[in-house]
Each structure stands twice: as structure tokens, then as C-alpha cells.
Amino acid sequence: MIEHTLRGNALVLRLAAPNRNALTLELLEALGAAIDNAKSNPQVSKVVLLGSPEHFSSGADLGLVRAVETAEQAIELSDRFQKAFQRIEESPKPVIAAMGGMVLGGALELALACHGRVAADNCRFRMPEVTLGIVPGAGGTQRLPRLIGAHAALEMLLSGRTIDAAKALAMGLVDRVCPPAELLEAALAWEPPRPLRRSTRLQPAPAPPDGVAPAEALLARTPPEVVAPRLIFEAIKTGLEESVEAGLACERRAFAQSLASAAAQNRIYLFFASRQTSKVPEVEGVSVAPVRSAAVVGVGTMGANIAQALAQAGLDVTAVDQDPAALDRARQRIASSLDRRVARGQLAPPAAEAIFQRIRLTHRWSDLGGCDLVVEAVYEDPAVKQAVFQRLEPLVGPQAVLASNTSAISLDLLAAGLTHPERLVAMHFFHPAHHMPLVEVAYRPQSAPQAIATALHVARILGKTPVLVRNCPGFLVDRLFIPYVKEAFALLEDGAPPEAVDRAMVTFGFPMGPFALIDMTGLDILIASDRQISAAYPWHGPMPPVAFRLVEEGRLGQKTHAGVYEYSEGDPTARPSPVTARILAEVQGRHGHAHQPPADDEIVQRLVLRMVNEAYYALGDGIARSASDVDVATVLGIGFPDYRGGVLRYARQCGPDVVFRRLECLAQRHGTRFRPSPFLQQEARNAPGC
């Protein structure tokens, strides 16, 4: 758990614990005992804490947090971490944290309790607790503002963003940065100033006059269900205005209060659920085909983004398209995307250049030979996709995995005519593919286990969360998303302005409303997808006429600078459209919709329950392996608010019987598209009290 080595007069304590040196209670005890032994050992004048080159520590073991059942247990857990780190801070002999790789949450709180911090230049620091809906509970709200100032501390604690070693040095979070190979020697050589700097005794730098203004603005935008940001702010304020002791007590209470919130419980549920999506018993132990090079066929917006994602993961990529203009646009699109990442400080210029050089854009199909994975990303036309697969199959090796980026077209259609259809799967990326964290991996009963396992593996090396689904029209995400959008258009025909619909869903917790999202992805793509899958799901009902009217007038979304909203060249800001207003007035007049526009509550209920009902259909059909997979997919793929836990967890927290009754009422008012699914009916009958 902890390896002890004496280097001259320095005791080197190397963390060697499971799960990337996760901090458990046992590890805290062992660390405390080692520090105590160092105090009484006359041969030791300093202690150096070291992790692995990749990870100093991943922070507190989330299993401890997950096991907490009462506020008293939460306060006790926070108290144990606080006291363990106070034990380090109070050591009369200096304790130096030598950090490489990732330093997350509780690990950074541990480093803050040390008297000095030396970081390798590959170090990345992050306080991610707020993204789980909880307050750091090991002294971070008190030490961090005293070390780097309240303004910088609030930015780190409230955003959960990662900072690199150079920025950490500039802001005073670390004392020295060195190459990874020199980390231990640099820590051994570093002499902390005397008297020892103990973070809880430092006087924080005065905050600038507007130092807390960004934090207050963020708190104003935070949903009331998400309590952690406000509690973090209060803990820092208490510690700075009263005392460290009062601040630590406030932090313990805040940790307990935040952990008990539904938002935290839902986010922790999703954290663990997202780590289970790729653990598929049917392919466990199946060897994964080696993937060193990949190809993308079709370099439109999606294809170019997929090529970039593959190259960012270190793969050599061949991107093929017959259209020279498409190749030029893809080259410019990828270069611009990488330039933006460099400008934002997310990527070093040499790394961006290396990614760009790994992508070979070509019109020659013969260049596909030797690729281990081919992702087809051409237009959603079954005949075109079939022709692509039949042309590329003989060009690649016998072990190469063939993947389609489709979601609307059945894999059975695409497999027809292939010599080895068993190696065909779908890898459905989401727009923009180099950024969105989800990949749907769809399979047929005839799909080879190795092809499935390889697709899951590739999604993981891309840094994405794969969700495995059984082949069906629309797979999982589009199957839920399309009825949601159909209902949004139905609300327009019932008199709701698009701005009101989007605003209601953003207030509910979505990052953007349905119309802003559709304008981004394209109305033509929506209608084409619905055309492919609607026959399989007659209860979805037809696409409302207003969507077709917009497309007929060439309003396809941001790409034509006009969709539901208006857009300026190069500016994605949505503006109300008089053309859309005219089309809506015509459609509403034709259908006689002159009643009161739907209120926000009705908007939310109709949209969310359409998605809930379809999720129950998909679960009952066996398309998804579990309810938690559905929840992960809806959060990562559609933007369902994570603090509500995903579409099915939200429904189950409302109560299946309650959801069933609401759907029945909506079905009476609006038609059979709201009729509850058989699986929901069964769950409602089995609900407690029914």
C-alpha cells in the first residue's frame, strides 16, 4: 500500500494502492503511521510523498462516498480525512508532495496539506467533486483559497476544470515544475522555506473587488437542485471571515448536505453506471483485434470529426472521399478545430501538428488496405452505404472490423451482400464526434464477438463511453430523440413559441432546447432519419407539417443560416425568425389551433414523457441491456440533465405509477402517441402501493 525507502536523510513514501492510488481509510491510516514514524526517527529530516508516473492519486475512493447512508456518517468520513491531512500539515518535519500525472480531488487536498509541492510537467490538477454534486470534504475549501487566493480557488472548485503544471506554478499551487524523469530528485533537493508553510495558517491574498463576481454569476445560473456550488462558496466564505476551524466545520456539514442531495446521488449513480456500459459478459474474455490504423469513408462534417477523434487517440487514419472539394473542406475543418484547441490552451502546437499529420486524406480506395478498422460515414442512404461496404470489404484484411456510423438504417440491410457480414457493427458517433463523449455500438445476433469487443475497445481508447445496443431502427438514442423532437414541433403547432419551448427545457436542465439542437444537427437530417425509422414505430406518429415546411423553404439549420431560428455567418447565436413565425401562423390557422399556448409545465411534461415512454419501449424490447445504460445514453447523447439521473431514473424517482397516469391523461388529450408502453404498465402495476 505504501513503499518506504530511505534516501539519505529523506524518507520516500511511494503510494502503491489499487485504483490509481485511490485514498481509502486504510491508506490514510498507513500514511499517518508512516508520518508519525518519520517524526520520531532521527535519521529522517524530511518526507517525500510519491505516486506512480501516471497518477499521483485519483483522489478519495468513491466507494467510501457511495457507502454513506446518513448525515452522521458523511460528517464522520469528512472528519477522518480532515484529521488525517491535518496530521500531515502539523508534522514538524517537512512533507513534500512529488506529483506526476493526474492529481484529482482528495489527492490535491492531500498535497495542499504538505509543506511543499513539486510537479512533473505532465501533471494535471483537478477538483472534480462539484461535477458529482458534492463538496470537497478533506480541507480543500480552506487550504486552497489560502494558498492561491479566493478568486482562483473558487474557479477551480466551482468549475471542476483541469489545469496543467505550468498554470499551477504560475498561480502558486505548486512550488516547482520539472521533467517527469527528474521528479523524485527534484523533490529530494527542494528545501521548503522555514518556518514551514502550513496552508491553514497562511493569510489569503486580498480578493480583487470583483473577485467573487464570476462565482456569484455561476451560482445564479445553477439549478436549485444542485446545492454543491452554493455550499462550496459558503464554506470558503466562513473560513475566510471567521476561522479555519469554523470553515472546516462548515465544510463537513456542507459535504454531508451535498452528498444527501438527489443531484449528488444521481450523478454518483451515473458515474458508476458509465463505467459498467462496456462490461459486457457476452464478450468478456474475447480477444480484441489489434487496432493501430483506422479509416473513415466519407469526410463530410461527421466523417472529418471522426477522423480527428481517431487521430487524437494516436491512430494513423486514412480518410477517403471521391469528392476533391470534400477532402479540402475536411482538411480545413480539422486544421481549424485543432487551431482552436491550441488557442484555448487545450493542446500544445507540436501535439496538434502530430495529430494533423496522422490523418491522410485521399480519394484512392486502394489506400484502405491494411487498416484494422473502417468507419463508414457517408450520407444516410441504404443503397449508398451498401455500395460502400461491398466495395471496401475486399480491400481490407480479413480481421478488419467494418463499422457504420448510421443510426437510422438497419445493420441487416447493410450486411446484405457482404462475404463476411459477421464483422459488421455500428459505431454511432454524435455531433461533434471529436467532442461528444458517447458512442453507440450496435450489433446483430450474427455479429462476431471479436468485432463487438473491438468496437467497444476503440470507443474506450477514444476516451468515450460506449453503450452497447441491439440492432433496430434508430438504435437507442435516435429512437428516443425523434419522438421528443416530434413533440416539440407539435407544441409549436399548438401555439408555443420556439423560444418558450427551448427556454422551458433549459430550465428543466438540458444544455440546449430541442430547436437549438435540431438547428445545429440539421432539419434535413432529422427528417431523413425519421423517414428511415418511422415505419418500425407507428406509435410515434407522423412528423408535424411545420418541420417539412421549414425544409421546403431551405431552412435546414445553422448550415444554411436559417432553421427554426435565424443565424449570421460564423455566429451560432440563435435569433427569432419572422419566417418561422409566418409558417407557424399558417400551419396553426390551417389546423384551427387557436387555444391558449401551452404553459412551461405542460411543455416539459409532454417532451420528457415522450422520451420516458419510448425508453420503456426500448427497455422492454431488449434493445438496451439495462436501465442504467439507457440513463447514460440519454445524458451523454441527448443532454438529459445529469443531476436528474437520466430518463429512466428520473421516471422511477417520480414513480412509474405516477408516470403511467400522466401519460394516460396526455393520451386522452393528445392521442395515442402518449399511450403508455406495455413495459411501463407492468412496472406501474408492480409499484409500491399499487
- List residues with catalytic annotation: 60, 106, 109, 129
The C-alpha cell that represents 536 in the structure block? 418500425
**Contacts (Cβ under 8 Å, ≥6 apart) of 83:** none
- What burial class does residue 42 get, using C-beta atoms within 10 Å of its C-beta: 0-12 exposed, 13-18 middle, 19+ buried? exposed
End-to-end C-alpha distance for the chain, whole angstroms: 51
- Residue 333: name the closest of 363, 303, 378, 297 by CA: 303
Q: Does the CA dihedral 245-250-254-257 come out positive or negative?
A: positive
Are 563 and 555 in contact by the 8 Å Cβ rule? The answer is yes
Can you give the length of the chain in residues? 690
**Contacts (Cβ under 8 Å, ≥6 apart) of 557:** 518, 519, 520, 521, 522, 523, 563, 564
Distances (CA, A) of 376 to 153, 435, 442: 45, 19, 14
Helix, strand, or coil (residue 413): helix
Other C-beta atoms closer than 10 Å to the C-beta of 34 total 17
- Residue 421: name the closest of 484, 348, 471 by CA: 471
In 377-506, DSSP assigns E strands to 401-404, 424-429, 438-443, 465-470
DSSP 8-class letter at 138: S
d(CA 333, CA 670): 44
DSSP per residue over 143-168, as a string?
HHHHHH-HHHHHHHHHH---EEHHHH
d(CA 359, CA 304): 10
Q: Which amino acid is at 135?
A: V
Please report where in the chains the cell 474557479 appears, as a residue: 155
**Contacts (Cβ under 8 Å, ≥6 apart) of 56:** 15, 21, 50, 97, 98, 99, 100, 101, 102, 103, 107, 111, 123
The C-alpha cell that represents 654 in the structure block? 417520480
d(CA 474, CA 178): 50
> Parallel, antiparallel, or unpaired for β 102-104 and 124-126?
parallel
For the chain, give the longest Cα–Cα distance. Answer: 91
**To 10 degrees, the CA torsion angle through 460, 461, 463, 464?**
-30
